[in-house]
Chain A
Amino acid sequence: MTALSLGAPPAVDLDRLLAGIDTLATQRPVAAQVVAVANAEDASARTLAGVLAADVALSGRVMKLANSAYFGMSGRATTLQFAITVVGFTAVRTMATVALTCLDDESQLPDGFWESSTAVALAASVLAPRFGSRSQDALCLGLLAQVGVALLHADDPAGYRELAAAHRPFAARRAAEVARYGISALRLSAVALGQWGFPPAMVAPLAAVDDPTSADGALLRVAFEVGARCTDPAHASEPVQRLSRGLLGEEGVAAVLQQVRDAAEDLRRAVVGDQTTTAAGVPSSGTPAAVSCCRAQPV
């Protein structure tokens, strides 16, 4: 029984969901250790490589990421330590977080989750300098911004699918998420990332996305808009001029779209490996898929 009154009965028990995230760390100890080491003040690429090497799949993805079009090393990153140097600790931590939350198993995710997330991430990265942000941080944030979506979807697949279909504009969807779950997916992402120790500065845009005065929020809003234009044919475009507080006009969107399209598939393969995108099938079990998939793996 919940000790809190959340108004309308929520479809998910937030506390249980968050508790589930906490237990994930024990399922993928190497990924959890990577997150911890990458957080440490005195971490070095060598230390991190030493830890990361124990998870072959994760190491492979970091190597692939370093050699992806986004980082431009064209296959020159041949050692794990160098790959970590190239992509940076935040990106390594991001990759570990993806593994930790089983976001690398696309069969358990909403349709097109990674197509959308990589597009948002690349759009945020490309646009970041214009908004006074760092491309690297924007990329990582973009990749993880929809962790909350995955968590809500895992807990309530049918319900979330229905919600997402019924509320296509982002602001409307967020409102619907709050109404149904007591929290928006973005806020849930922010909570999760905060709990995992990502720097507040990196996570801050998630909280600011509905703040019309915030540049961080504007970057994320535009990134979502560009990502949707890239990946969702049914998306009803919103004017970027307004979303970006005038920092980006429609005339600048085409070039960004092109850059996103050029690098998106490469980035997706690096982040989740070479598995094929799954069909629309959604697990009927009420068990959070993220948890179940991690438990299914030998540790």
Chain B
Amino acid sequence: MPASPTATGPAGSVSPEVLAAVFSAAAAGDGPALLVAETVEGTPRVTWANEGAVRLLGTAAGDLRGLPVGELVPALAAGELAVLLRREHASRLALRVRTGGGLVDAVVRAAPAPSGSAWTLAVVPADAGTDRVSRATADAAERRFATLTERSPIPTLLSEQGMRLAHVNDAFCRLAGRPAADMLGTGWTGAVHPDDLGAVIEVVAAVLEGEDGEVRARLVRADGAERVTVMRFGYVFTPGAGSGFLGTVEDVTDRLAFEARLAHQASHDPLTGLPNRTLLDQHLATRFAATGSSTGGRLACLFLDLDDFKVVNDSLGHEAGDELLVEVAGRLRATVRPGDLVARFGGDEFVVVCEDVDEADAAALAERIVAALAVPVHLAGVRFRPHASVGVTVQAPEHADAADLVRDCDIAMYQAKAGGKGRVRVLDRCGRAEARDKLQLVADLRDAIERREVTLHYQPIVSAADGSLEAVEALARWHHPVRGPISPEVFVALSEESGLVGPLGLLVLDEACRQVVAWDRDLGDLAPPRINVNVSALQLDGGLRAEVLAALHRHGLAPARLSIEITESALMTDPAAARGVLQELRDLGVAVAIDDFGTGYSSLAYLRHLPVDCLKVDRSFVAELAEGHPQIATAVIALARSLGLSTVAEGVATPGQAAALTALGATYLQGFSLAVPMDGATTATWAGAR
């Protein structure tokens, strides 16, 4: 805007017309309150007032004239008038001005005339000032908020600015266990756990920049008790004050405790309170990874299996068994080092995991455990001395993961148990190599079964009376592609240990049936009349009948063409169950023979009730014939005859034995002197040539 002489120049340069126009406007009734003051006899006095001033001050213009300015603004002492009525500068003061209606808050502006002894005063009442109104509005809003939250059950904080609280409600004071006076300003930060304060400030800092945020933090009550809370903050902007937050605080202590209880239940054995297998696996995985690094120490794993636990359970009851487990758990905890983990692996099995130990340390710990467990305990009034077999393994480079470690100490435990009760066995490098080797063999066996690379050989069983072919016994053979022939004693035992006995048994049964049908087709009447198939004790479950039936159906073979051989010791594992299974087979029309008879300590009375057709005299008794000890073979053959059963003498190695057994009354003979085991084709040739 261009400067004009009237605006900037001395009044003298303004024309009388302009001055008259300005004066007229200033004097008008609807303008602001204007006064002119001049120093009269040393005192500033009002010399002129416009209509606005008369209206505002409620004093007639005539009465205003001559009034000392000091009386208009009584808040200013006489000497202080100088701050309003300055010589060269305009001033602006918020003052109380005396009016007809009393003192009124106003903003008074004073502009000096060039002379320095006269001033123009403009008085604007402050009542309508936006500052006061907005301040009052804000204060009212804050009071409403305070009223609203005061009795709210939700702990609530209101920051006036930054971290500083302007307001906390009763619920928050109760939660923090401190009076409100201690919480205002930054006082509340004293109630936040020192370890959590950093996170709280971090979140508040983000909230002050306009985000929402929440943080879990502990509050420390005045009495020292801790409460875990989730603090949620929202951004609040207060005009004139700045950025703050509104916070609500949720006490999650009880919920967390409940969740912790649930988590504990999920990871601990309810009976003994020990970590369960889930937690063991987690712990091992974590520690295995940590110790795998260069700084970590080696892990050791002890696998314990209580000896005779089944006896306790069966004889003293499950409550006594549980009592024993609890007692053992307590002793284990008391025996291991602080920081070692004791877990209940399942049943009567426990695992101890320790760190930074070598084999000697771990073995020493195992011995300590065995000794601690061996202290007698009274269960259901009976004194019992617990024993455990302990397998020990220390982490080695060969262990790819934690599961390897557990598997190795499990193996070691079985080795310990195989050596007798209450023993410790450390699976060292050599033992581990053997175990690995065995594992590999199991894997190979699994593959071999799947690919039907386990084949059958057949050893003829002939009539003692006339040498006619009565049956063949199917014998499983495994030719390992690298290791060559594997003894059936090895791989059958392996299959039983590794859960492969089922598939192996099915393979043998199926192949045997298939072969008989093939022989029938090729040899007609010359085909072997019957085939004997061996069954493991582990196959004597409810499924055997169905499997036999399926195999017979699959190949269209008559049940009478099949005989199932089962060892005497297998029968004695669970005599009642065995009897049921054998009965089912007999009901199908399948014959049943007891293998290795005389080696299994079976009760003769019990034998009488077993549904069997034939006893096979064990080869050891046949061998004794040559040594002049025919007693047992004689007795077995006589026993069978008296029970109406046929007999097969196994392991007949010489014509002399054959003759002797025939003389003793053996029904059938089987052995090298008669025929060696042959594959299917050779057997066919052998049978066809007779």
Task: Give A residues with C-beta under 8 Å from B.
Answer: 2-7, 10, 14-15, 18-19, 22, 45, 66, 69-74, 76-77, 82, 85-90, 125-126, 129, 134-136, 178, 181-183, 187-188, 191, 194-195, 199-201, 203-204, 207, 255, 259
Contacts and interface: CB of A to CB of B under 8 A. Distances in A.
Contacts of A89: 242
B83 interface: yes
12 contacts: A4-B82, A4-B85, A6-B78, A7-B79, A71-B164, A73-B163, A74-B197, A74-B198, A90-B241, A178-B80, A183-B80, A194-B92
B94 A72 contact: no
Contacts of B132: 200-201
Given A88-B161, A135-B160, A194-B94, 6 more contacts: A2-B82, A19-B88, A72-B163, A72-B164, A88-B162, A195-B91
Query: Chain B contact residues: over half helix, strand or loop, or mixed?
Result: mixed
Query: Chain A contact residues: over half helix, strand or loop, or mixed?
Result: helix
Contacts of B401: none
Contacts of A70: 164, 185-186
Contacts of A187: 77, 80, 83
Contacts of B493: none
B340 interface: no
A72 B186 contact: yes
A134 B198 contact: no
A47 B428 CA distance: 74
B131 A200 contact: yes
Contact of A201 (B88, B116, B117, B131): B131
B79 A200 contact: no
B209 A73 contact: no
Give the interface size bracket for B toward A: 35 or more
Contacts of B77: 178, 182-183, 187
Interface in B122-168: 126, 129, 131-132, 135, 160-164, 166
B547 interface: no
Nearest to A263: B186
Interface in B177-221: 181, 184-187, 189, 197-198, 201-202, 204-205, 208-209
B463 interface: no
A192 to B, nearest CB: 9
Pick from A2, A6, A136, A199 the residue with the most CB of B within 10 Å: A136
Contacts of A72: 162-164, 186, 189, 201
B81 interface: yes
Contact of B208 (A74, A85, A191): A85
Contacts of A76: 201-202, 205
A5 B42 contact: yes
A85 B197 contact: no
A155 to B, nearest CB: 14
Contact of A3 (B116, B160, B185, B208): B116
B131 A199 contact: yes
A136 B163 contact: no
A135 B184 CA distance: 10
Given A76-B205, A135-B160, A3 B184 contact: no
Contacts of B14: none
Pick from A45, A135, A195 the residue with the most CB of B within 10 Å: A135
A197 to B, nearest CB: 9
B243 interface: yes
Contacts of A136: 160-161, 164, 241-242
B81 A86 contact: no
Nearest to B75: A207
Interface in B32-75: 39, 42-44, 75
A90 B198 CA distance: 27
Contacts of A134: 160, 166, 241
A69 B91 contact: no
Contacts of B79: 6-7, 10, 14, 178, 181-183
B87 interface: yes
B364 interface: no
B109 to A, nearest CB: 11
A14 B78 CA distance: 13
